[in-house]
Amino acid sequence: MSELISEAYNKISVFQAERERLLAAIALRIRQSLDLDSIIKQTVEEVRLFLQTDRVLVYRFEPDWSGLMVAESVIHPYRAVIGSKIKDPCLTKKHIEKYRLGEIRVIDNVETAQLPSCYKDLLATFDVKANLVVPIIAEEKLWGLLIAQNCKSPRQWDSSEVELLKLLANHVGIAVQQAELYQQVQSVNSYLERKVKNRTAKLEQAVEFEALIRRVTQSIRDSLDETQILQKVTQELGEVLHIECCKIELYNNSHSAATIVYEYRTNNDISQQTTRQVADFPEYQQLLQKKSLQFVETIPLLSSSTEKLTRLICPIFDDKGILGNIWLLRLKEELFDELEIRLVEQVANQCAIAIRQARLYERSQAQVKELEKLNTLKDDFLKTISHELRTPMTSILLASQTLEKLIQTQGLRGIKSEKFQRIFQIFKGSCQQQNKSVNDLLTLCYLDAQNATLIPEIIHIEEFLIQIVEPFKQKAQQQQQQLIVKIDPDISSLQSDTTLLERVINELLTNACKYTPVNETITVTAQEKDDKIYISIRNSGIEIPLEEQESIFEKFYRIPSHDPWKHGGTGIGLALVKKLVKLLHATIELDSQNSQTTFTIQFAIDRFE
């Protein structure tokens, strides 16, 4: 018994040693050679001898999933199939995917195995009694199959044999990947070698051209002088392209004529400024369509001979239209290549930017001067008209006050009628509103014109706010609104300009009463937090749309469709508030959401003894 065990152990050891030798030999061959045909031919021969089977072959898939027998080792009398192209009728996408994922197909007995008849018939064609198929994967793609076959009888494939074939298929896959990569590298190298000389020259030229573009671009950034930039462009192009002449011409407004305004020549000749009529030269038809033009021209010489030269013309244009052209002259029959043409077109684009930029700057400077003049006239006008309006409005206000006293003292029956009183109140209110508008306008002009002088005082917040809010309570009650005041009991005093701050609070309360709907609430809050005092005026039932919030503090801006009482207004109140708050060294913020609008003024507390 021990002898049998020892003999079996020796066989296993010999098998393992032979397997390791075979794998090592194939791996070494793969490392030493890039000849795929030689590698797989020797592999199938060695595998067949090692497994002592009748046939071993490599089957390579074609793009249509038919296959070609590319390597085979077979013993007599079984026929060779190498070179045969075989289409397995039973091979489906499902089988292909399984093979790609590494599935191994083991058939010990073709006759007894549960196989599709089409596949069984295919195996019978080659006298196959037992079949072992392992996929060959290269770069995660199914390249082919490594197949071992027994033809004289069925055979139970041992797991060690299956594992060996799997390892060999992996080695073949590496060889395939290595060979294909080598072919790709060889192909790329051949292509690069063919192109390297021309490419090197082109790269050197491209570097020089890129440097020119950078210089031109930098000139545009550094200067707004059209003459300086375009003169430099003509010189740079002439020197870099080694041409005899480069010039720039610009069209008139109607594009009926083109005048040469900048020119570079190698012989340093100074040409006269010339103007050409566009209609007299056919080449302008293509140029006005924003297309470059190149042609060889024959010119006569004094000795009755002729000379050929090459001209390249590139239009200067942008999305707003065409401005002119760049002309280049080469005194020989040598065309400008694609890289040179692209360079000139890029330079032409930069010239268009420079021309537009310079002309825009000239116009903007003129506009700035005109706007400064108009702004001065506007300020003078506003000051004058405000003073002119204020004088009669003051008289009207005094007259209304006098009329009120007469009514109270004389008691005339007709004057005391309800209708007269109602008209009088409208008259009085209009006078007050107009007087307020004029005062606001005058204050706004005054603040725009110069820095106002602050007169700081110590303000006791509670007394100050209650005094301001009191006149608004009756107005809120008449409009069926609720006015609430909430002031922190221990709030610190504030040092600021009383008159200006009172005007700010009055304006915010006026707006709150103006825009708050019926049965809604106006809340005046004063609180202290983190060495800051916050005074807020909040009204409910109204929300300013987000797109209008950015414009709320602009001059003459009025919120559309949010005035339930139809009070109207000039749209300068909040602009004045913004300026006054800034003058008071404070900030104001607007928060409008969830049907509530809040204006909050924030003051830093000046601590004093």
pLDDT in tens, 91-114: 888 888 888 888 899 999 988 888
Please, which residues have CB within 8 angstroms of residue 42's CB and are 6 or more apart in sequence?
A: 26, 29
Q: Cα-Cα-Cα-Cα dihedral of 213, 217, 220, 226, to 10°?
A: 20
d(CA 34, CA 187): 15
Q: Which of 26, 60, 59 is nearest to 147 (CA)?
A: 59
Q: Are 493 and 461 in contact (CB under 8 A)?
A: yes
248 close to 354: Cβ distance less than 8 angstroms:
no
Closest of 168, 167, 150, 161 to residue 12, by C-alpha? 161
Within the chain, which residues score under 70 in pLDDT?
1-19, 23, 25-33, 196-203, 205-206, 268-273, 300-305, 374, 376-452, 555-572, 606-609
Please tell me the distance from the alpha carbon of residue 520 to that of residue 516, in angstroms, as a whole number. 6
Rounded to the nearest 5°, which phi and psi values hold at 5?
-65, -45
Please list the alpha-helical segments (H only) found in 411-497: 418-449, 461-478
Beta bridge partners of 293: 313
Residues 538/486, Cβ–Cβ less than 8 Å: no
CA distance 191 to 199: 12
Residue 186 to residue 378: CA distance in whole angstroms: 79
Nearest partner of 524 among 470, 597, 438, 465, judged by Cα:
465
Q: Which residue has the tokens 């026929």?
A: 79
Digit-coded pLDDT (tens) for 261-307: 888 888 765 555 688 899 998 889 999 998 999 888 877 665 566 77
DSSP codes of every residue in 212-229: HHHHHHHHHHH---HHHH
Q: What span, in angstroms and rounded, lies between the C-alpha atoms of 128 and 107?
A: 10
Q: Which residues, including other chains, have CB under 8 Å from residue 555's CB and lie 6 or more apart? A: 444, 571, 572, 575
Reported as type and span, the H/E element at residue 454 is: none
Structure tokens that stand for 389 in this block: 């309006």
Cβ count within 10 A of residue 607: 8
In a 10 Å sphere around its CB, with 0-12 CB exposed, 13-18 middle and 19+ buried, how is residue 34 labelled? Answer: middle
The one-letter amino acid at 553: F
DSSP states of 549-564 as a string? Answer: HTTTTSTT---TT--T
Dihedrals phi, psi of 73, to nearest 5 degrees: -130, 120
Query: Exposed, middle or buried: residue 206 (CB in 10 Å: 0-12, 13-18, 19+)?
Result: middle
SS3 166: helix
Helices (H), 335-454: 338-410, 418-449
User: Whole-angstrom Cα distance, residue 55 to residue 82?
Assistant: 11
In contact, 245 and 329? CB cutoff 8 Å: yes
Residue 94, phi then psi, degrees to nearest 5: -65, -45
Would you state the pLDDT for residue 565?
A: 46
Q: Residue 130 CB: number of other CB atoms within 10 A?
A: 24
Instruction: Supply the pLDDT for residue 17.
Output: 67
CA dihedral angle for residue 472, residue 474, residue 475, residue 476, rounded to 10 degrees: 80
For the whole model, what pTM was predicted?
0.36
* Four-point Cα dihedral 410, 411, 413, 419, nearest 10: 110
Cβ atoms of 390 and 442 within 8 Å: the answer is: yes
Query: Integer distance in angstroms from the first to the last C-alpha of the chain?
Result: 114
H/E element, 598: strand 596-604
